[in-house]
Amino acid sequence: MQTHQYDVVIVGAGGAGMRAALEASKEARTAVISKLYPTRSHTGAAQGGMAAALANVEDDNWEWHTFDTVKGGDYLVDQDAAEILAKEAIDSVLDLERMGLPFNRTPEGRIDQRRFGGHTRDHGQAAVRRACYAADRTGHMILQTLYQNCVKQDVEFFNEFYVLDLLTDHDLTTEELEDGAEVNATGVVAYDLASGEIHVFQAKAIIFATGGAGKIFKTTSNAHTLTGDGMALAYRRGLPLEDMEFFQFHPTGLAGLGILLSEAARGEGGILRNSDGERFMERYAPTIKDLAPRDIVARSMANEVREGRGAGPNKDYVLLDLTHLEPAHIDAKLPDITEFARTYLGIEPYTEPVPVFPTAHYAMGGVPTNVSGEVLRDGHNVVKGLYAAGEVACVSVHGSNRLGTNSLLDINVFGKRSGRSAAAYAKTVAQHLDLPENPAARVEAQLAEMRDRPDGDRVADVRKALQETMDANAQVFRTADSLNQALSDIRELQQRYRNVSVQDKGKLFNTDLLEAIELGFLLDIAEVTVVAALNRKESRGGHYREDFPNRDDANYMLHTMAYRRPTAAPDVAEGHVEGYFDHVESFDDYKVVLGSKTVTQTRYEPMERKY
């Protein structure tokens, strides 16, 4: 076992982690730990753009952007955070430009902007061009730009190191703490893929930037590695997860595959059609049609298929029509995604419409933080020295449905903020806090147990069964019956997980072993998602309950906070527990306890959401 000491340790080298590293490393000794080589992080797959009210091509301002974000999130957004997101967007784009990011330009040489779902002028009057972009490879350009700047700034990286535990000075899973009691994060434990060795990192401040958890679903735009590690690690240490029932299904995944075709296709004029050739979004969102927010478009598509107007031999998808656009325009603005249609479906988008269907895309929920990136341990107390940013976190700027292009923005704005706050905090701590006596004991035991287990169930089989039940029962449409089915399947898979075995028993590059560990994270995240979804008996944003089709502000205008607790612990979660979120699912050896957190409202009163 090796040990390291840093002021700030950042877990994750995607956009959020590297944006944080650029800030923190200016002020404090900083290390970035990443299970992937940094430029392989999922941020690099982002396509369409990053929102900022630059008003380079049309009248726009940050207040309209704030309003759109709040309305897009079906009013579950914390409005103070959304205001920061929209205001600081402008500097975030300019920061990237100064770092060398090659944005597309207007003929006058300004950063060009394109339309995206839910971004409007004057509070919903018409679509506005707000997304800054680099063709349909915006995320690739952001990730490369941030990485190059980190290298220039001599940021230290530990690549292909998997963080498998978070160390704190109190065990929140068992200890009951008073309101205001101090809890500190002290370090993380990581596994080096190449050598199989354990490394303990002691830190004054830790930032989780581990990205999303899309692999709980089968049909997803997310990379194989998006297994919710940071969320699961925090949850296992007794920290809450916020709003996990809200998962975004992106309307335009390639049918049957889930590979993403960016909303930029519709931003550039693409139209969705059913089997009759009808532009059906005119019926569902008469004002902004195909550019309505994702939850509405995804549900409308699924509804067309249900009502028999799906296209194709099995009538199970709809069509994204780009055939009226000039091939030169398609090549300039959408080169990658049109190539995906050719490669994976054999479709020529110049002349044929592309088969599409919703695909699991983005976790709106995650580890709760305040606007400085500090992680909360209940409705209001923070864990000292622990921060989170990016898709792993829930600030919450996306509420129950994220607008397209607001995530590349989120990782930049809150990556920067958490990097700054972590470094500033580290400076106030004179000495590193003591680590537990055997800091790597939990991880070592877990790995040994998994490696030494004789023949058992295969990881791939359990993962497939999990993803299938999530697709079948917790997707665009949900009911109590479907969610209960998902929960009982997950419980059964949790039992099977205790028996999974790995074939590779070696030390070097044992990806087999790590995929088994990642499957454990996926099971935990899926369980919390379904428990929270069962408990929210209303429809809002990405969470649609057919048995409760309306939004219910009287009872559910609250964030969900989910805690893992021992069976013997009290049934009531710490912090704000009110009304309908006072809910418990008990299993053999632990239970999921739900509490709530108030939604911060500043200037926008909740209204009916129409587009």
- Kindly identify the residues of this chain, within the stretch 436-495, that bind ligand FAD according to CB under 6 A: none
Interface with ligand FAD (CB under 6 A), residue from 8, 9, 10, 13? 13
Report the candidate in 518, 400, 406 with the shortest Cα–Cα distance to residue 466.
518
Which single residue brings its beta carbon nearest to ligand FAD?
14
575 forms part of the interface with ligand FAD (CB under 6 A)? no
- What does the buried/exposed string (b/e) look like for 283-293 if buried means 16 or more CB atoms within 10 Å of the residue's CB? ebbeebbbbbb
Nearer to ligand FAD, 414 or 497 (CB): 414
Interface with ligand FAD (CB under 6 A), residue from 210, 338, 421, 510? 210
Closest CB 49 distance from ligand FAD, rounded Å: 5
Nearer to ligand FAD, 361 or 551 (CB): 361
Secondary structure of 481-504 in the HEC alphabet?
A: HHHHHHHHHHHHHHHHHCCEECCC
Helix count and strand count (H, E) for the chain: 16, 23
9 forms part of the interface with ligand FAD (CB under 6 A)? no
Q: Which residue has the tokens 């940013």?
A: 389
Which residues are CB-contacts of 343 (< 8 A; sequence separation ≥ 6)?
none
String of contacts with ligand FAD for each residue 124-153, x by CB under 6 A = --------------xx--------------
Which residues are CB-contacts of 309 (< 8 A; sequence separation ≥ 6)?
274, 275, 276, 278, 280, 315
Which residues are CB-contacts of 596 (< 8 A; sequence separation ≥ 6)?
379, 558, 559, 560, 561, 576, 577, 578, 579, 581
- Kindly identify the residues of this chain, within the stretch 309-328, that bind ligand FAD according to CB under 6 A: none
Q: Contact, 393 vs 373, CB < 8 A? A: yes
Closest CB 514 distance from ligand FAD, rounded Å: 9
209 forms part of the interface with ligand FAD (CB under 6 A)? yes
Which two structure tokens, joined as six digits, stand for 441? 């004991």
Interface with ligand FAD (CB under 6 A), residue from 168, 186, 219, 222? 222
- Kindly identify the residues of this chain, within the stretch 391-410, that bind ligand FAD according to CB under 6 A: 391-392, 405-408
105 among known catalytic residues? no
43 is in an annotated binding site: yes
Segment interacting with ligand FAD, rule: CB under 6 A, options 390-398, 474-482, 496-504, 572-580: 390-398
Give the span between the Cα atoms of 38 and 17, in whole angstroms. Answer: 9
Closest CB 391 distance from ligand FAD, rounded Å: 4
DSSP three-state, residue 315: coil
Nearer to ligand FAD, 404 or 575 (CB): 404
252 forms part of the interface with ligand FAD (CB under 6 A)? no
Catalytic one among 237, 294, 417, 478? Answer: 294
Give the span between the Cα atoms of 82 and 395, in whole angstroms. Answer: 9
330 forms part of the interface with ligand FAD (CB under 6 A)? no
DSSP-assigned beta bridge partners for residue 162: 191
Which two structure tokens, joined as six digits, stand for 75? 């009013």
Segment interacting with ligand FAD, rule: CB under 6 A, options 5-13, 55-63, 280-288, 346-354: 5-13
Do β-strands 354-363 and 247-254 pair in parallel, antiparallel, or remain unpaired? antiparallel
Give the span between the Cα atoms of 313 and 353, in whole angstroms. Answer: 15
Closest CB 573 distance from ligand FAD, rounded Å: 26
Nearer to ligand FAD, 92 or 274 (CB): 92
- Kindly identify the residues of this chain, within the stretch 45-74, that bind ligand FAD according to CB under 6 A: 45-50
One DSSP character per residue, 116-135 reads EEEEEETTTTEEEEEEE-ST
Do β-strands 185-192 and 198-208 pair in parallel, antiparallel, or remain unpaired? antiparallel
- Kindly identify the residues of this chain, within the stretch 27-46, that bind ligand FAD according to CB under 6 A: 33-36, 41-43, 45-46
Closest CB 18 distance from ligand FAD, rounded Å: 8
- What does the buried/exposed string (b/e) look like for 575-586 if buried means 16 or more CB atoms within 10 Å of the residue's CB? bbbeebbebbbe
- Kindly identify the residues of this chain, within the stretch 334-363, that bind ligand FAD according to CB under 6 A: 362
390 forms part of the interface with ligand FAD (CB under 6 A)? yes
Q: Contact, 106 vs 69, CB < 8 A? A: no
Catalytic residue numbers, as ranges? 294
- Please give the annotated binding residues for FAD, written as ranges: 12-17, 34-49, 229, 391, 407-408
Contacting positions for ligand FAD (CB under 6 A): 11-17, 33-36, 41-43, 45-50, 138-139, 162-163, 209-212, 221-222, 229, 260, 262, 362, 390-392, 405-408, 411
